[in-house]
Amino acid sequence: MKEYDVIVVGAGPGGYVAAIRCAQLGLKTACVDEWLGPDGKPSLGGTCLNVGCIPSKALLDSSHHYHNLQHLLPAHGISVEGASIDVAKMQKRKDKVVQMLTRGIAGLLKKNKIDAYPGHGRLLADRQVEVTAHGTAKKDQLKANNIIVATGSVPIDIPVAKVDGNAIVDNEGALAFSEVPKRLGVIGAGVIGLELGSVWSRLGSEVIVLEALDDFLVTADRNVAKEAQKVFKKQGLDVRLGAKVTSAKAAKNGVKVRFEDKDGEQSIEVDKLVVAVGRRAYTADLGAEAAGLKVDDRGRIEVDGQCRTSVQGIYAIGDVVRGPMLAHKASEEGVAVAELVAGQSAHIDHDIIPWVIYTHPEIAWVGKTEAELEADGKEFRIGSFPYRAIGRAQGAGETDGFVKIIADQKSDRILGVHIFGAQASELIAEAVTAMAFHASAEDLARTVHAHPTLAEAIHEAALAVDGRAIHF
């Protein structure tokens, strides 16, 4: 039996980051991961790198270039006759990006002298982990003073639309289409559904998104959701709210989807159907309960504010615990736990974790929404500023969207920042930094922003909190 200071189970953005930080701090570390790539070989990085964040953004960028070629560049005086999309080449590029990054992680583990164990990890009593190698009965027994569980999440499946990997797919299948579907159905208008729907819509699909809820993007700010819905509709995304799918059956030429809405029973026929109704914690055959860990009614491992489980020496991070299922949240929890194990102080402010939806325009926010503050009885002021009044946005032809800043009525401390617009995923970092240092709207208003930039929208929104925006 091999012994370690730390064993990390899972090598996604939470697990591999935790393992690297542990090694940096001088801890003898092992990392167990069961993911296999398309070639049947171990592929580190978890869902995010293999079939999530990275490949989806690679395709989003490809589809964005193609869309701009047809719809944005002509206004710049740039015209191309007979533009076409080579889906096979686009997919090959995406796969190359994924392969390069997964190999990079393997190199990082090796560089940091972390022992990698390909296979399925199962928790045993007394802080032991049993690793079953792929395709064999071979088992390794590992023991450590500390274990970090970072097994991530898997797509939620629904009985009325069983994924078959062909006509009915989950997010993984939707990233691997060999051709552009003429008609694409998507169940779920959340982050994954909108992003994947956006990819194929830009490439020419007629996309119909069926959302069971009556409201659009319930987790986002209401002003942002309303404006985004309007823009996406203009782009051609057919988002149908209050549409509860009752059945989906694959046929020879596609999928027939039945659903109910305010007008009664409806049906559509699509070439492909993407099931994107959310994700659930992945604890399959983990042995969590046998090891003494407490699991909630949603299958998540229960932890305290510092990711400690109910068993001393065992921690859990990322999608397998409470909180938003975001790669950067998992990574930061991994770093914090590694430092805690090494005897250092560790802290994560879960109140200022940024959210991003990679549609176009992008949606990003941090902190509280207006509705949440109203429900809490907080008094606040709002400053909002549109992209169309920003010179850089006009020059780029990216004028949809706005920045909204919410500040405390008395202290002026920033309580939330919400952005709908180009480069929102990059701009939100300024807001996160400001909130991390407890900045006020006045602090942002007095910070010099370069001109011309999209970031000026943040500056102007901060000025608008006090009713003194300059350019609108």
Report the distance separating Cα 266 and Cα 247, nearest Å: 11
Angle between helix axes 87-111 and 15-24 (nearest 10 degrees) is 30
pLDDT of residue 366: 98
Cβ contact 268:162 at 8 Å: no
- Tell me the residue type at 142: L
Q: What pLDDT score does 99 carry? A: 96
pTM for the full model?
0.96
Provide the token pair at 171.
């997010």
Q: What is the reported pLDDT for 136?
A: 84
Q: Provide the domain limits for residue 137.
A: 2-155+280-351
Q: Say whether 418 is catalytic.
A: no
What is the C-alpha separation between 169 and 423, in angstroms, rounded? Answer: 29
How far is the C-alpha of 71 from the C-alpha of 360, rounded, in Å?
A: 13
Q: What is the pLDDT of residue 51?
A: 97
pLDDT of the chain along its 472 residues, tens only?
999 999 999 999 999 999 999 999 999 999 999 999 999 999 999 999 999 999 999 999 999 999 999 999 999 999 999 899 999 999 999 999 999 999 999 999 999 999 999 999 999 999 999 999 998 888 999 999 999 999 999 999 999 999 999 999 999 999 999 999 999 999 999 999 999 999 999 999 999 999 999 999 999 999 999 999 999 999 999 999 999 999 999 988 899 999 999 999 999 999 999 999 999 999 989 999 889 999 999 999 999 999 999 999 999 999 999 999 999 999 999 999 999 999 999 889 999 999 999 999 999 999 999 999 999 999 999 999 999 999 999 999 999 999 999 999 999 999 999 999 999 999 999 999 999 999 999 999 999 999 999 999 999 999 999 999 999 9
Same domain flag for 32 and 151:
yes
* Residues 36, 132 within the same domain: yes
How many domains would you assign to the chain?
3
With residue 106 as reference, give the H or E element that holds it: helix 87-111
Q: Same structural domain for residues 47 and 122?
A: yes
Residue 296: what pLDDT? 94
Question: Is the torsion defined by CA of 197, 199, 202, 203 positive or negative?
Answer: negative
- CA dist 462 and 467 (Å) reads 9
Please list the residues that pair with 118 across neighbouring strands.
33
Q: Which two tokens stand for residue 400?
A: 């949809």
Helix (H, G, I), strand (E, B) or coil at 67: helix
CB 52 within 8 A of CB 171: yes
Q: Give me 74's structure tokens.
A: 């002509």
- Residues 102 and 134 occupy one common structural domain: yes
Please say whether the beta carbons of 271 and 254 come within 8 A: yes
Same domain assignment for residues 264 and 298: no
> Are 188 and 52 in the same domain?
no
DSSP3 helix / strand / coil % (the chain, rounded to 5): 35, 30, 40
Full strand arrangement of the beta sheet holding 206-211: 168-169, 272-275, 183-187, 206-211, 238-241
Strands 254-261, 244-251: pairing is antiparallel
CA-based R_g, the chain, Å: 24
pLDDT of residue 137: 80
Verify that 398 and 445 share a domain, yes or no.
Answer: yes
Among 347, 350, 438, 451, which one carries the catalytic annotation?
A: 451
Considering the domain architecture, whether residues 18 and 76 belong to the same structural domain is answered as: yes
The CB density around residue 418, as the number of other CB atoms within 10 Å, is 30
Query: Is there a single domain that holds both residue 117 and residue 98?
Result: yes
